Amino acid sequence: MEILPRQRLDAPYPSLQYAGYVIGVLFLITLFSQLDRQLPALLVRPIRAEFGISDTAFSLLQGYAFSICYTLMGLPLGRLVDRATRRNLIFWGMLFWTAMTAASAFASSYTMLFIARMGVGVGEAVLAPAAYSMIADYVAPARRGRALAFYYTSLAVGSGASMLLGGWLLGAIPREGMELPMLGLLPAWRICFLAAAAPGIGLAVLLLTVREPVRREQGAKAETCSVGEFIAFLKQHRRTFARLLTYPALLAMIGYGMLSWAPALFERRFDMPTSRAGIILGLIIAVAGLTGTLFSGFLSDRWLRMNVEAARFRVSLVGTVVCAPMAVLWPLAGSATAAFVMLGFSVLGLSISQAAAPACIQEVCPNNMRGQAISVYLLIAGLLGIGLGPTLVALVSDHAFPNSSSLHYAISATVLPTALAAIWLCWSGLKPFATTRKAVRVSS
């Protein structure tokens, strides 16, 4: 991998038009990456039936199979992001996870599907650290909150699109499956994985039109910092980073825990077909997630211009307070309509708070630490959120509420303590965040 030479730190920012184009390309790539990440939530019944597995075994397939590789590979790749050509890292990662998504469609056993999901995690591990780092170098600080928020909407839109696509396919494909050229008769769940893999090659070609940006805001030293220097920086500002790197993980536990099992809940509690629930959930996630994320970026930049203390981190507190009560209550609603409405408000608050996290990290880290900081953020969020979130709900469901109609109790029981802890972390982190931000700005 080519290591970049030291670059001019006073180079002007690219035009807003070109920066917008780059963010748009990264948006599409990240949206595509979300199709596979959320898709299995709609496929609980057919995959369980195919391989004869429990809720807990399925949750491991959906959670830790992906998240362990995604988070652990993110650490070395995050260091590489701080040194190498970020566009090329995304390019090769995308080709790899596309191949692994397609391989999921042909898995003949639970083990093979588990390995394919691990491969998807390896490929996607480079995307977020590289994309956030590139956007921060394309957009001036005054507009960065909105730019990062717009990019972050790809997560919500992608999650919603995966539900919409999966729900539509499950409804359109006959129960006995569909005959595909050269592949023969395939069941609906396998065709869904092929559909999620389809855009990969075209997006990889589109990525080649993006230029690598000049690195900026590197502090007193423009060189890549060592692991020891990075750890020393985290220790120096541990009161800030103990909260800033932990609260997104708790919110990820809430988000992945409830959304991974939402289609199954509507099927088991309200007798709603997964194909219909998937379409409704997809629309809710896309609309609420898009609205919350864009509002997060707007509010973040506005409060920054108004010199509100800990402006960007304060947005996290607002979103968490909106999300927490709705996330606890929606599974207990007496009707599907009420559950969908409350779930929408919980996704709205979750998006406001989660979208603020990358901008907060960029705000309190020098450029030569941003890739590593984002990787640590993704490591904690991945292990606790993507991995533990779905599995914890399944464990509580299988052991505390073994009746299949009691999934709603399992979701609420896991969300409540997690939500309270997230609120405390955001509230108690405001002053430490402001202190760290001031110290980093003085040294830059």
The tally of CA atoms less than 13 A away on the side-chain side of residue 207 is 27
Q: What is the distance between the alpha carbons of residues 30 and 10, in angstroms, rounded to a whole number?
A: 30
According to the 3-state scheme, what is the secondary structure of the chain?
Answer: CCECCCCCCCCCCCCHHHHHHHHHHHHHHHHHHHHHHHHHHHCHHHHHHHHCCCHHHHHHHHCHHHHHHHHHHHHHHHHHHCCECHHHHHHHHHHHHHHHHHHHCCCCCHHHHHHHHHHHHHHHCCHHHHHHHHHHHHCCHHHHHHHHHHHHHHHHHHHHHHHHHHHHHHHHCCCCCEEECCCEEECHHHHHHHHHHCCHHHHHHHHCCCCCCCCCCCCCCCCCCCHHHHHHHHHHCHHHHHHHCCHHHHHHHHHHHHHHHHHHHHHHHHCCCHHHHHHHHHHHHHHHHHHHHHHHHHHHHHHHHCCCCCHHHHHHHHHHHHHHHHHHHHHHCCCHHHHHHHHHHHHHHHHHHHHHHHHHHHHCCCHHHHHHHHHHHHHHHHHHHHHHHHHHHHHHHHHHCCCHHHHHHHHHHHHHHHHHHHHHHHHHCHHHHHHHHHHHHHHC
| Cβ atoms < 10 Å from Cβ of 271 | 8
Handedness of CA 281, 285, 287, 292 (dihedral sign): positive
Residues 427, 339 contacting (CB under 8 angstroms): no
Q: How many residues does the chain have?
A: 444
Contact criterion met (CB below 8 Å) for 250 and 415: no
- For every one of its 444 residues, what pLDDT tens digit does the chain have, with 9 covering 90 and above? 444 444 445 567 888 889 889 999 999 998 888 877 777 877 878 888 888 888 788 888 877 788 888 878 877 887 788 788 899 999 999 999 999 999 999 999 999 999 999 999 888 888 988 998 898 888 887 787 778 778 878 877 887 877 787 788 778 888 778 888 888 888 888 988 898 898 898 999 999 999 998 887 655 444 567 788 889 999 999 999 999 999 999 999 999 889 888 988 998 899 998 888 888 998 998 899 889 988 998 898 899 889 999 999 999 999 999 999 999 999 999 999 999 999 999 999 999 999 899 889 988 988 778 778 887 887 888 778 777 888 888 888 777 776 666 888 989 999 999 999 999 999 999 999 999 998 887 765
Query: What is the Rg, in whole angstroms, of the alpha carbon atoms belonging to the chain?
Result: 21
Residue 337 has a pLDDT of 95
First to last CA, the chain: 28
- Give the pLDDT of residue 207: 95
Q: Is 14 left (phi over 0), alpha (psi -120 to 50) or beta?
A: beta
Q: How far is CA 426 from the centre of its chain?
A: 19
Q: Which of 427, 408, 425 is nearest to 328 (CA)?
A: 408
The closest alpha carbon to 254, from 414, 113, 429, 134, belongs to: 414
Residues 6+ apart with CB under 8 A from 256: 63, 385, 386, 389, 390
Let me know: does 100 contact 66? Beta carbons within 8 Å: no
For residue 371, the model assigns a pLDDT of 75
